[in-house]
Amino acid sequence: MDDDVLIANPGSSSLKLRVIGPDNAVLAGQDGPEPGDDLADVVDRFLDGTPSVGAVGVRVVHGGPSFGGPLLVDDAVHDRLTDLDELAPLHNPPARALIQVLRRALPDTPVVACFDTAFHHTLPRAASAFAVPWAWTEELGVRRYGFHGLSHAWAAKRAAELLARPLDGLRLVTCHLGAGASLAAVQAGRSIDTTMGFTPLDGLVMATRSGAVDPGAVLWAQRRLGLAPGEVEESLEHHSGLLGLSGRSGDLRVVLEGAAEGDERCRLAVDVMQHRLRGAIASMAASMGGVDALVFTGGIGEHATSVRAAAIDGLTFLGAQVDLDANALSVGHDAVISPPDALVASLVVVAREDLAMAEEVRALLAHGG
């Protein structure tokens, strides 16, 4: 096949298209669409101006319990994907729609679904199971799925390369920090624990998402305020996190500015985020019986030097140390930010889900799909 791969990364209201060459160079790219744009028209215009591709990879947020790796999409697979819409109602339906558009636009080109949950299919039952009524687990599939898997997998691979050590000999805590945020405990290249759960709402404090919260508090607030289930979901998804704590913004840059200006709620938001982050990193390390390296990725992980430094400074009991000069200089590129004698290394890795997906697509098709 042609070694160029078209990578499509759809969000709930966004779309990133990249053509990845065999040397991982980005040969063409486009972000969009604009409001009101027809998805098929956007794809057709992009394809008209790009070289032919040998395969397509589409990011699908939720693969449910069945999809533990990339899968060549045919009509039967697409029908199975439909069953997962209720697990990720904002993200999976746009991905399915995009898959159908691409299959029609490129009828002779294989289209592969790459699942963000697949990397976490290696979670042991002790990490994936919730202590809820067994019928919820058996009949509803309630369990920890984990997310950001493509990012965690890439971060782990690049960390091993930067450290010049084999991945199968490393215990890594990969920290995907952005508007959405999650950690993974990656031992010998396999995810054995992670902070997001049944949905991407669980775990760390995020831009507008609450992260972990006592379900009893949610039930109490629902009864006290007379909230419908949809209103509870809206509150926890879009009015919590940094925004809820600070009252100013879900953008960490704005919250950090507010904290520097003396805004007490902004300071609290930063402190809570850091407290949860340090505790979660320590928990991931405990799942592996120790840690060899911390890996920061995602928009915040790559650019917020103060967040990285504060997290590492709070984990010196694990053997983590930060080289302040290296940390300050490492913005938006791969780097080691710990001193050479640190017992636990710290690194920055640029999130490249597009390259992780291209590798998955090529590997799948090389083995016959």
Same domain, 235 and 324: yes
Q: Tell me how many helices (H) and strands (E) the chain has.
A: 15, 12
Phi, psi of 140 (to 5 degrees): -105, -10
Residue 267 domain-assigned (yes or no): yes
The span from the CA of 258 to the CA of 311, in Å, is: 20
Shared domain check, 174 and 98: no
Q: The CATH number of the domain where 333 resides is what?
A: 3.30.420.40
pLDDT single digits (tens) 175-201: 999 999 999 999 999 999 999 999 999
Contacts (Cβ under 8 Å, ≥6 apart) of 135: none
Both 206 and 319 in one domain: the answer is: yes
Is 44 a catalytic site residue?
Answer: no
The CB density around residue 229, as the number of other CB atoms within 10 Å, is: 8
294 lies in the same domain as 174: yes
| Structure token digits, residue 212 | 């972990």
What is the Cα–Cα distance from 18 to 27, expressed in whole angstroms? Answer: 7
Count of domains observed in the chain? 2
Structural tokens at position 77: 């697979």
Of 115, 146, 179, the residue at which a domain comes to its end is 115
Residue type, 255: V
Q: What are the backbone dihedrals phi and psi of residue 22, each rounded to the nearest 5 degrees, phi first?
A: -65, -20
Q: Which domain holds residue 227?
A: 165-353
DSSP 31-58: EEPPTT--HHHHHHHHHHTS---SEEEE
Other Cβ atoms within 10 Å of 333 Cβ, number: 10
Residue 124 in any domain: the answer is no
- Respond yes or no on whether the N-terminal peptide bond of residue 33 is cis (omega within 30° of 0): yes
Q: 343 and 199, same structural domain? A: yes
Last residue of a domain, one of 115, 136, 153: 115
Give me the phi and psi of 115, to 5 degrees please. Answer: -100, 135
Same domain? 107 vs 235: no
In a domain, 103, yes or no: yes
155 lies in some domain: no
**H runs (alpha helix) in the chain:** 39-48, 75-82, 92-105, 125-128, 134-140, 149-163, 215-225, 229-238, 241-246, 252-260, 264-288, 298-303, 305-313, 324-329, 353-366
How far is CA 112 from its chain centroid?
19
348 is a domain residue: yes
Shared domain for 201 and 315, answered yes or no, is: yes
- Catalytic, out of 2, 79, 116, 292: 116
Q: Is 37 inside a domain boundary? A: yes
- Do residue 186 and residue 296 come from a single domain? yes
- From 243, 290, 285, 289, select the one nearest 268 (Cα to Cα): 243
| Pairwise CA distance, residues 264 & 267, whole Å | 5
For the chain, residues with pLDDT lower than 50 are none
**Boundary-marking domain end, from 115, 130, 148:** 115
Q: Are residues 213 and 330 in the same domain?
A: yes
User: Number of C-alpha atoms within 13 angstroms, CB side, residue 77?
Assistant: 20
Residue 305: DSSP 8-state: H
**Residue 338: half-sphere exposure toward Cβ, Cα within 13 Å:** 26
The answer to whether 187 and 171 have CB atoms below 8 angstroms apart is yes
Predicted confidence at residue 312, as pLDDT, reads 98
Considering the domain boundaries, does residue 217 fall inside one? yes
- 190 and 296 both lie in a single domain: yes
On whether both 242 and 348 belong to a single domain, the answer is: yes
Query: Is 153 inside a domain boundary?
Result: no
- pLDDT for res 35: 65
Both tokens of residue 365?
A: 């098709």
Task: Please check whether residues 43 and 170 belong to one and the same domain.
Answer: no
